[in-house]
Amino acid sequence: MRDCHRELSLWMEALGEQIRIDAAGNFRAVYPALELDAPRLLIGSHLDTVPNAGAYDGVLGAVLAVALLEELHGRRLPFAVEVVGFSEEEGIRFGTPFIGSRALVGRLDQGLLDLRDARGVSVRKAIEDFGLNPEKIPEAELERDTLGYLEFHIEQGPVLERLNLPLSAVEAIAGQSRLEFTFLGRANHAGTTPMHLRNDAIAGAAEWIGFVEHLAQSVPGLVATVGTIEAKPGATNVIAGETKLTLDVRHGSEEIRVRAVEDLIRQASEIAKRRGLSVRERTLLSQPAVAMNQFFVDEIEKAIVKTGCPAHRMVSGAGHDAMILAEKVPSAMIFLRTPGGISHDPAESVAREDVEKAIDCGLHLLDQLAASPEFYKRTNRA
């Protein structure tokens, strides 16, 4: 991370920016506005990554912000631009994501600071070991005159490639439900128990899994996944008495996701009843969808069209720092096509032409925002 900060600093210093690493380990650099007390727009992404990662998830968004400012060739805007490179977005080390971005919205609290990694080192200790002072975390919070947050990121999925589009606006970050289902039947001999006298927990679960897939296929934008299945007693010649499964359901609309989960719970109990089984479910996570700022989404679409590409907007199935920032300031994202939809893998890549389009789109966007006084005067000294 230190090397990464040093690299970014070298580029930013050349642009005459004021650089700091805040107490949560986020890289922050401010490109000044025309006037001293102008409000600021944040552009960035995260700098951490996953084990055996690719080279573009997160870091491309931070580097794109620098490239955008380079392309201004010293020209000042009516608002300052703060480049942010977030720490700890992925949640690998401490098992909790968005630690860096939570500092900006004032949510890097005692509970988070007390989290420990696999070796027992707390977030607080890791911050100190890095040479930073956890007491200064409040200084990492957003300035009152922050206009918003923009994030370029690879899509990490196959949708834009399939549509043959280099760029898309992100209109929402999908909400997510995670549940655990347990079907209970009766374990019995696989040879001596006739088919009509069974209470087979695996067969019941299998029928329900088919329904999960069917429902998700019939609702536009809905994704539903049974990712794990575990059967007991788990022998070739024994009818299963218990099956435990996990369910992951995501959609950009709160209403559709909640209704889908209700449908799936109802269907599980109908299948169980018909088969002489019982079923119980437990909610592990229910995270609301986060809408991106409508003004930004519209402006991003206009900017995409100016690059010669068709306008497009989509829902992000993955979580991003933008959904944390959206709690406090208008936020939006721009996705870049991901070849093969491959991410979190060394084969992750981007096309050079798509990055050029993204920079072009970003420049149009900055100009559009600069030409929109109601945008940059709105929160100034509010």
Residue 57 makes contact with Zn ion by CB under 5 A? yes
Does residue 82 interact with Zn ion by CB under 5 A?
no
Closer of 57 and 354 to Zn ion (Cβ): 57
Q: By C-beta, is 154 or 361 nearer to Zn ion?
A: 154
Q: Least distance in Å: CB of 86 to Zn ion?
A: 9
Map residue 35 onto helix, strand or coil: coil
Return the ∠ at Cα 104 (arms to 36 and 330), rounded to 5°: 75
The nearer residue to Zn ion, 146 or 338, going by C-beta atoms, is 338
Rounded to whole angstroms, how far apart are CA atoms 140 and 132?
12
Q: Residue 39 or residue 157: which is nearer to Zn ion going by CB?
A: 157
**Contact call for residue 319 and Zn ion (CB under 5 A):** no
Q: Which residues contact 75 (CB under 8 A, 6 or more apart)?
A: none
Smaller CB separation from Zn ion, 344 or 378: 344
Closest distance between Zn ion and the C-beta of residue 153, in Å? 6
Calpha distance 151→163 (Å, rounded): 22
For tokens 């549940």, the residue is 179
Q: How many residues bind Zn ion (CB under 5 A)?
A: 2
58 binds Zn ion (CB under 5 A): yes
Which DSSP symbol is given to 241?
A: S
CA torsion through residues 137, 59, 337, 81, sign: positive
Contact 337, 166 (CB under 8 A): yes
Closest separation in Å from C-beta 103 to Zn ion: 17
Locate 214 and state its tokens.
Answer: 């069917």
Instruction: Give residue for tokens 């040479």.
Output: 131
Q: How far is the CB of 320 from Zn ion (least distance, A)?
A: 6
Spatial separation of the C-alpha atoms in residues 276 and 199, rounded to whole Å: 6
Q: Residues 2-41 vs Zn ion: string with x where CB under 5 A?
A: ----------------------------------------
Maximum distance among all Cα pairs of the chain, rounded to whole angstroms:
85
Sole window of 19-27, 54-62, 171-179, 352-360 interacting with Zn ion (rule: CB under 5 A): 54-62
- For the bound state, the minimum distance from the C-beta of residue 284 to Zn ion, rounded and expressed in Å, comes to 22
Cβ at position 50, least distance to Zn ion in Å: 9
Among 6-14, 58-66, 98-106, 171-179, the segment contacting Zn ion (CB under 5 A): 58-66
Neighbours of 265 (CB within 10 A): 17
Does 54 interact with Zn ion (rule: CB under 5 A)? no
Residue 48 interacts with Zn ion (CB under 5 A): yes or no: no
The H helix count followed by the E strand count for the chain is 12, 15
Cβ distance to Zn ion smaller for residue 98 or 376? 98
H-helix segments, the chain: 2-14, 59-71, 99-104, 110-113, 123-129, 159-163, 201-218, 254-274, 294-306, 321-325, 352-370, 373-376
Measured distance CA(334)–CA(153) in Å, rounded: 6
Token digits for 164? 């043959």
Smallest distance, Å, CB 145 to Zn ion?
Answer: 27
Distance in Å, CB of 58 to Zn ion, minimum = 4
Binding segment (CB under 5 A) for Zn ion, from list 51-59, 112-120, 142-150, 282-290: 51-59
Find out whether 334 and 170 touch, Cβ atoms under 8 Å.
yes
Q: How far is CA 13 from the centre of its chain?
A: 30
Applying CB under 5 A, the span of 55-63, 161-169, 210-218, 357-365 interacting with Zn ion comes to 55-63
Please choose, out of 24-32, 53-61, 110-118, 281-289, the segment that lies near Zn ion by the rule CB under 5 A. 53-61
Which CB atom, from 44 or from 175, has the smaller least distance to Zn ion? 44
Short-list 158, 170, 95, CA closest to 343: 158
Q: Which CB sits closer to Zn ion, 17 or 57?
A: 57
C-beta of 27 vs 375, nearer to Zn ion: 27
Tell me which DSSP letter residue 24 carries. T
Catalog residues that contact Zn ion under the rule CB under 5 A: 57-58
